[in-house]
Amino acid sequence: MKTIKTLLVDDEYLALNLLEEFIKKVPEMEVIGKVKSPIQALEVLSGQPADLLFLDIQMPTLSGTNLLRTLKNPPLTVFTTAYSDYAVEAFGLNAVDYLLKPFSFERFLQAVNKAKEQLHYLGRPGEQAQLVLPRESRDFFALKVDGKIVKVRFEDILFIEGLKEYVRFVCRDARHVTLESLKNLEELLPSGHFLRVHKSYIVAKDKVQALNGNMLEIGEFKIPISRSKKEEVVQSLFFE
């Protein structure tokens, strides 16, 4: 895989230095800038593109979320913050991940691997998996991946994430990315077992373990709920 050019934006030096130390442990990553303000980040991005952005949210002058809104073609972005309140807004901006400070190297690596997965498929548009839609009687999708056909059983799906033109199936023991829309999948999946909880997420109802604020917990994963859908989601997942 090509080098992942990474820009770090945080108004705290300790946070910047920790991210840089973590990145040094990942051979294919390269820090192209380490800045303390969104304005400095705009200057860096005007001179060279970044593949991945680690971005704090609460900063003077301009917040991380507002910085992202100003970018016409933003890099893949991982938000880093001490506050959980912004998670729904961050995922609404198609963030790759949301790291809650203080985070471990293992949690950082999960975010990096997710970004790598997206970069891999975005960089190979002719080679993504192909989804074969199921007949009504079937309980699985068939995916054509690297010359073979893979069954993705509904019962194995934890959640499905929208990645602009793609979707990512996160299953018990596998991950698959394919060119499809969440809207189409929402109509195809059995509504008794799956629920759209956010513009970027469909969850398997029986895999949800807990609700913490506006985030659903499925194993190690945190899935945001749209504020407008929260009452409906809570009722469907926990009281029906």
State which fold the 4-122 domain adopts.
Rossmann fold (3.40.50)
Name every residue whose Cβ is closer than 8 Å to that of residue 184 and which is 6 or more positions away in sequence.
133
Name every residue whose Cβ is closer than 8 Å to that of residue 171 and which is 6 or more positions away in sequence.
152, 156, 157, 158
Q: Say what the pLDDT of residue 16 is.
A: 94
Q: Say what the pLDDT of residue 186 is.
A: 87
Q: Say what the pLDDT of residue 132 is.
A: 58
CATH superfamily of 130-239: LytTr DNA-binding domain (2.40.50.1020)
Q: Give the residues across from 225 on adjacent strands.
A: none
Could you tell me which residue, 170 or 148, shows the higher pLDDT?
170
H-run or E-run covering 32:
strand 29-35
Quote the tokens at residue 20: 């840089």
Could you tell me which residue, 150 or 54, shows the higher pLDDT?
54
Query: For residue 7, what pLDDT band results from cuts at 50, 70 and 90?
Result: very high
Q: Say what the pLDDT of residue 47 is.
A: 87
Strand bridging mode 52-56 / 29-35 = unpaired
Residue 162 pLDDT > 90:
no
Cα(67)–Cα(37) distance, rounded to whole angstroms?
A: 10
Give residue-wise pLDDT tens across range 170-213: 998 888 877 788 888 888 888 889 999 998 899 999 999 999 98
Q: Say what the pLDDT of residue 126 is.
A: 44
Q: What percent of the chain has pLDDT over 90?
A: 40
Average predicted confidence (pLDDT) for the chain: 85
**Could you tell me how many residues make up the chain?**
240
Ranges of each domain in the chain = 4-122, 130-239
Burial 12-29 (b: 16+ CB within 10 A, else e): eeebbebbeebbeebeeb
Q: Say what the pLDDT of residue 59 is.
A: 87
Residue 134 pLDDT > 60:
no
Residue 28 pLDDT > 50:
yes
Mean pLDDT of 77-97: 82
Q: Say what the pLDDT of residue 125 is.
A: 44
Could you tell me which residue, 147 or 237, shows the higher pLDDT?
237
